[in-house]
Amino acid sequence: MLLNNRYRILRTLGSGGFGETSLAEDTQIPSQRLCAIKQLKPIHNNPQVYQLVQERFQREAAILEDLGGSSDQIPTLYAYFQLDDRFYLVQEYIEGDTLTAKLRQHGVLSESTVADILANLLPVLEYIHSKHIVHRDIKPDNIILRYQDGKPVLIDFGAVRETMGTALNSQGSPTSSIIIGTPGYMPSEQAMGRPIYASDLYSLGLTAIYLLTGKSPQELQTHPTTGEIVWHTHATNISVTMAAVLNRAIAYHPRDRFSNAREMLQALQTGNLFIPDTAPLTQPPSFPPALPTKSQETHLFNLGASSRETALQNNGQRGILALSIIAAAGLIGASVIIGLALTRTPQAVEQPSTSLGTPSSAQNTPKPTRQNVNKANFPHAFYFLADSAYPTSQTALMQVKALQAVGYPQAGMFWILEYPNLSDKELFSVYVARFSDRNKCIELLKTYGQVNSNAYCAFASKDPNAPPERLFFKEISTSSSGIFRDAIATQNNYSWLSQREVTDADLDGKDGFELDIMRNAIYARHGRRFKAFGLQKYFDGQPWYRPKYSPDNFPNELLSNLERWNAEYINKYQDRYNRRYFR
C-alpha cells in the first residue's frame, strides 16, 4: 500500500501524542530514496480550527523548506500534503544515532566530544534564531549524529506540533492550547508559553550535561536556596571553561544566560565569558584569551582536585575539536603565560589566614552559600586584587579554584554586601590576593593585569562612608610591553590585511589590545604615527615600521580600497563587542 500513491511505508520510527513518524521509500524516483514521513493530526476536531491548522501548517512547511535548504544540519523537506484529517511532512531521512542512543551504547561522552558537538550545533542555532525561529524542543532525542560525517543534525521543530494544537480562545482568536517542550529540558519561561532564543541555549546546555554525566535533568538536584542545578558532582575532569559555559547556559533567569548562540560559541572557543550589559556584574570573568601557540599544551582542571591535570595536546587534533582545546587554554592554559610574564616575588603577596575566602586547599574548600560567606573571617578593611565578580557562589568558587590551580594559593572570594563601600549588589567577589598595603596590591596588579586586563586593586571596608577606591590595570599601564604581548608582534605583522578581506573568524577570540594593533597596523605600514603613547611605543618596536606622517597629516589615499575596508570592518567589530584597549 502506497501513501499518497507514492511512499511505501517500511516501519514506524516513533510515535507520540501528535502522530507518528515512519521510514518510507519514494517509489516515484529512480533511487527510491529513503525518507522520514511525519504524520500529524490536529488535537481539536473543529472545522474552523481545521482551517486555521491548514493555513499554519502550510506556513510552517515553507519555513522548514527554507531552513533545510540552507543548512545541511537540518533535514531537507521533500514534500508536504494532506489526506483526510491528517497532515504529512516528508523529510530527509538522517541515518545515524540520537545522542540518547549514543550515550546508551558508549556511556558518558568525553568533554572534547561534547565540545565538538556544541561547536557544530551552535552555528545552526544562530542561523535558526536569525530567522526569528525558536526550536523549543532541543534534547538528546532530537539531535542525531549522522553516520556519514559525524555531524549533529537537529530534528523535530516544535512549531509544527504547536500548529496541531491550535485552538480558539473565548474571543474567537486563534491561540495555542499546548506547551511545546520536554519537561526537564524546558526552562521556566518556556513552560509558561513564552520561549525566547535563550530557551534553546538552556535546553542545549542541559543536553550537554546529560552527555557528560549520564543524568537526565530530572535526576539532578537543585540548590535549595538559589535554585541552581547541581550537576558538577556527577562529572569528572571537566575543565573550568566547560563548567562555566554550561552554568551560564542553564542559569535560571534568561538575563543571566548567553544572549545568543554566537556568544556561547565564543565563550566555548576562547574561555572568555562575555557578560551582557543586563547581567548584575561589576567585572567580566577573568582570563581573556591567553594567546596560546598551536604547539602549546593545554591543561584541564579537575574540579575535585587542587592540582592541574594534563589533558590534551593541540598537536594531532582535527577540525572543530581544536576549538575546545583553545577554550581550555583560555583559562587554565594561562598558567603557561603567567609563568613567563609575571615576575612577582612571593614576599609581595601577604599570606592570609585560612577561611572560606582564602582556602588553604582547593580540595577541602567548602561549597559556599550566602550564610557561611557572611561568617567568613575577614578583617574590617583590606586591599585586594580583584579578578571578577559573580552572582552565584558556585561559579565564583570555580574561578577561585582556577586561580589556585595556576599558582595563586591566596585566591578567594567574599560577599560584597559585607563591605558596603564597594557596592550594593549581591555579588561574590573573586580576588587573587588581599593586602594591608595598597602599594603591594598595585605591584601585583602591574604583572597580573597583563593576563587579565580587567583586573583592578580595590579597597574593601565595612564602613559605608569609606570611599570606593579602585585602580584599574589600564590606568597604570600606558604601554603593553608584557612578554606575552610582545610575542604577538614577533608572530604576526598583519601584512595579510593588505592582501585579503578580514572576516569575523579572523577577529573572534582576540582581545581589545590585539584588535587595536591589527587595525592600526594597516596605517603603520604606510608610515603613520599615533597619538596614543602605548600604540606608538608598540609600533616603534617593530623592525618594519618606518614613521613618516603625523596622525593629523596622514594621507588616507595611501590606503588601498581593501585596506580601508578592512580598517573599517575591524573598527565596527570593536564597537559591536566593546573591545578596545587604546583610548
Q: What are the two backbone dihedrals, phi and then psi, of residue 225, each rounded to the nearest 5 degrees?
A: -95, -50
Residue 41 · residue 85 · CB < 8 Å: yes
Q: Can you tell me the distance from the alpha carbon of 89 to that of 37, in angstroms, rounded to the nearest whole number?
A: 6
Say how many C-beta atoms besides its own lie within 10 A of residue 17's C-beta. Answer: 10
Would strands 221-222 and 86-92 be described as parallel, antiparallel, or unpaired? unpaired
Question: Any idea which residue has 590585539 for its cell?
Answer: 514
Task: Extract the C-alpha cell encoding 60.
Answer: 510552517
* Pairs from 292-297 (Cβ < 8 Å, separation ≥ 24): 292/326, 292/329, 292/333, 292/336, 292/337, 293/491, 296/329, 296/333, 296/336, 297/333, 297/336
C-alpha cell at 6: 507514492
Can you tell me the distance from the alpha carbon of 416 to that of 423, in angstroms, rounded to the nearest whole number? 7
Residue 402, all three cell numbers: 582556577
Nearest in space to 209 (alpha carbons), one of 228, 227, 195, 190:
228
Its sign, for the CA torsion 104, 110, 112, 115, is: positive
Q: Give pairs for 3-7: CB < 8 Å, separation 24+.
A: 3/37, 3/83, 3/88, 4/81, 4/83, 4/88, 7/35, 7/37, 7/90
Instruction: Output the CA–CA distances (angstroms, integers) from residue 288 to 111, 192, 270, 278, 562, in the order listed.
Output: 21, 37, 7, 20, 29
Rounded (to 5) percent helix, strand, coil in the chain: 40, 20, 40
- Annotated catalytic sites, by residue? 137
Distance of CA 57 to the CA centre of its chain: 34
The 152-154 sheet, strands edge to edge? 96-98, 143-146, 152-154
Tell me the C-alpha distance between 80 and 58, whole Å. Answer: 8
Pure H helices in 360-406:
370-374, 393-405
**Cα–Cα nearest to 246, from 224, 230, 223, 227:** 230
d(CA 549, CA 275): 39
Q: Minimal CA–CA distance to 180: which of 197, 192, 168?
A: 192
